[in-house]
Structure 1
Amino acid sequence: MINQFRKLSPINLLLLLAYTFFMRMAIFYEMPPQLNFDFLEPFARLLINIDLDNAFSPGANIFFATILVFVQALIFNKVVNNHNLLSKPSFLPGLMFITGTSLFMPFMTLSPALIANFFLIWIIDKFLKLGKSANSITTVFDIGMIIALGTLIYFPFMAMILMIFLALLLFRPFSWREWLAGLIGFMTVFFFLAVFYYWNDNLTSFYQIWKPLGNKFPSVFKINYNDYLVLIPVVIIIILASLQLRENFFRSFISTRKGFQLLFFMFVVAGASLYLKPSFRIWHFLLCVPPGAVLLAYYFSNAKKRWFYETLFFLFVLSVQYFLFV
């Protein structure tokens, strides 16, 4: 299967679509009786009053989530290939993205984090263009606005502001204008939101938006470790990919090395941003899938022994399906 997706063959589009539904067999087989979908953060509903909480039946919810994941996988695949992060263009990034979004049942339903992944993939593309741009002020300003729009949908997405500064450190010589441009882009969206609150004589509620920023990072997590055994194959592949990346690191293009460093920091920031949400939901970690999927794809793109990497991927998929059904 891996060998098939190493090629940029049009038939892989159909195979990828079939694989997307295959990885969601468990949730289609045992459909939840009710699924809610909070499309926007409460503070953004005054601006855009769309109530989708009960707009979809459970079947429709899962179906549309599957289609969105497939579309995201195609966009993500194109971004990774366009920036030459792997040894050669392939459908492996899309394949790993779909596999990553199938690890847990909550990943397979409509959620704010799933929608926010569109914005995350967009800013990954923008970040990777920073090193190739002569004047990046406009790009950084756009990134700030994209992060603000993502924050309207899912508040922890705000943590991606940190990635602006990390990306500038990696890709650009220091320029205070560029550092300021990202913040201005972010604040522009919230400035208009504040004006809207003011027009509706509700400015005090606007200040409540920022209360989660004062949350303390949780020191205690209630974890059922059996629910996360499915991550063991992921950890194994990440370790193998890291060893392979280290071996090839200084033989890679500088832009590729910086790209992987950027994605590593993005993975960490996306995971740590859960502290911005008072109630923990496992679908939050959908934000970790795009940067993590690149590393998984890197291993399968560069692995040499076919019998080993095909068997490893088969066992990976088998373990995902096993834990989903069990």
Structure 2
Amino acid sequence: MSALLHSESLTVGQQMPLYELLLFVTAGNNLVLSLVACLLLILMAYGMVRLNENYIFIRQRTDLPAFVFALIASGTISLGGMHPSLFAAFLLFLSVDRVFKIYQGTATLSNSFDAGFLIGLASLFYLFAAVYLFWFWVALAVLGYLRGKEILAGLMGFMVPVFLVVAWYFWSDDIGELQKTVESLAFFQNSLGDVSVFQYAYWGILGFLVVLSSMYMFNVYEEKKISSRKYFIILLSFFLVSALSFSFFNGAGVEQYFISIIPVTYITSHYFVLQKHAWIGEVWFYLLVVSSILIHFIG
């Protein structure tokens, strides 16, 4: 609600081409952009449940991932609104679905192409989404499909939207402008800005919960079906790529949060649903809920 009532821009300067197109279509209206951001979060929350129903990462049908995602997604006050990384997160989430489909062994080339295409589109909204092409190759290795055909299909899918945008800028004689935009975003000195102690405390709670949930997952790893094991490793590698991007690229700031919470949602939801000591899970669950609410009042 605060993002809708007090809409403000979360970006400065020139952005990647598709986000600039979004700004043009919405006339840069911050309220409209915040509404689009809200819609994307709702679609992702719904998609979290659908993905689990399709691939049964959590061994029972539950709407909990949608609720956990909503809590965590709104848990960083400085990200109340639209940011290019949110659109990238939505597209990367769709690419996770395509990667999981590869394991089923049908249409591996078309799913590889689709995954690469979605990553390419995401990078045209948010530059640092391009590094998830490496995650795609890691996922292929985990699934046992690290073969020339799938690698090439994913690479071609990635290149198609990038090539079309570059061709458009070349045709418009603005290729130099595109190069300047990419360079400025790549070398932009991003920072966390003014972050309150309460926000750090919330991230600390969330970080500890991720570690606890991951340890629980490893403890029950051998009990999982082979497919669930592979999905877990793919989600964990997705999270690690996000963490490494934040660590190694100066221009990648706190907005990586939108992307990293995709695997975090599943790993923590799995812990809440299946861990054997119910009271411990409930304590952590209520702590997450209460802290996610309080951060909006004291953060």
TM-score norm. by structure 1 comes to: 0.79
The corresponding residue for 1:35 is 8
Instruction: Check the 8 A contact 1:212/1:276 in 2, yes or no.
Output: no
Q: How many angstroms apart in 1 are the aligned matches of 2:35 and 2:174?
A: 38
Q: CA deviation at 1:195?
A: 1.7
* Change beyond 3 A, Cα 1:208–1:293: same
Q: CA deviation at 1:308?
A: 3.3
Q: 1:53-64, aligned counterparts within 5 Å?
A: 54-57=28-31, 62=34, 64=36
Q: CA deviation at 1:222?
A: 7.3
Q: Secondary structure at the match of 2:220?
A: helix
The structure with the largest helix share of the pair is 2
Instruction: Check the 8 A contact 1:37/1:53 in 2, yes or no.
Output: no
The corresponding residue for 1:6 is none
Q: CA deviation at 1:314?
A: 1.5
Of the three residues 169, 191, 213, the one matched with 2:163 is 191
Q: How many angstroms apart in 2 are the aligned matches of 1:98 and 1:140?
A: 29
Of the three residues 229, 232, 235, the one matched with 1:257 is 229
- Per-residue CA deviations over 1:101-121 (Å, capped at 9, x if unaligned) read 021113331222222222121
Instruction: Check the 8 A contact 2:127/2:185 in 1, yes or no.
Output: no
Instruction: Check the 8 A contact 1:41/1:152 in 2, yes or no.
Output: no
Q: How many angstroms apart in 1 are the aligned matches of 2:269 and 2:61?
A: 11
Q: 1:1-326, aligned counterparts within 5 Å?
A: 27=2, 31-32=5-6, 34-36=7-9, 41-44=15-18, 50=24, 52=26, 54-57=28-31, 62=34, 64-208=36-180, 210-211=182-183, 215=187, 224=195, 226=197, 227-274=199-246, 279=251, 281-326=253-298
Q: CA deviation at 1:70?
A: 2.0
Q: CA deviation at 1:47?
A: 6.7
* Change beyond 3 A, Cα 1:280–1:223: farther
Q: CA deviation at 1:250?
A: 1.0
Q: How many angstroms apart in 2 are the aligned matches of 1:168 and 1:91?
A: 28
- Which consecutive unaligned segments of at least 5 residues does structure 1 have? 1-23
Instruction: Check the 8 A contact 2:68/2:269 in 1, yes or no.
Output: yes
* Change beyond 3 A, Cα 1:279–1:47: same
Instruction: Check the 8 A contact 2:137/2:146 in 1, yes or no.
Output: no
**1:299 is matched by which residue type in structure 2?**
Y
* Change beyond 3 A, Cα 1:93–1:316: same
Instruction: Check the 8 A contact 1:130/1:172 in 2, yes or no.
Output: no
Q: How many angstroms apart in 2 are the aligned matches of 1:107 and 1:167?
A: 29
* Change beyond 3 A, Cα 1:42–1:96: same
Q: CA deviation at 1:49?
A: 7.2
The corresponding residue for 1:5 is none
* Change beyond 3 A, Cα 1:176–1:212: farther
Instruction: State which structure, 1 or 2, has the greater radius of gyration over its C-alpha atoms.
Output: 1
Instruction: Check the 8 A contact 1:113/1:154 in 2, yes or no.
Output: yes
Q: How many angstroms apart in 1 are the aligned matches of 2:154 and 2:145?
A: 15
Instruction: Check the 8 A contact 1:101/1:108 in 2, yes or no.
Output: no
- Per-residue CA deviations over 1:4-33 (Å, capped at 9, x if unaligned) read xxxxxxxxxxxxxxxxxxxx6xx369x54x
Instruction: Check the 8 A contact 2:86/2:258 in 1, yes or no.
Output: yes
Q: CA deviation at 1:305?
A: 3.7
RMSD: 3.2
Q: How many angstroms apart in 2 are the aligned matches of 1:173 and 1:280?
A: 30
Q: CA deviation at 1:291?
A: 0.7
Q: Secondary structure at the match of 1:35?
A: coil
Instruction: Check the 8 A contact 1:73/1:94 in 2, yes or no.
Output: yes
* Change beyond 3 A, Cα 1:49–1:316: closer
Instruction: Check the 8 A contact 2:189/2:251 in 1, yes or no.
Output: no
TM-score norm. by structure 2 comes to: 0.85
* Change beyond 3 A, Cα 1:62–1:310: farther
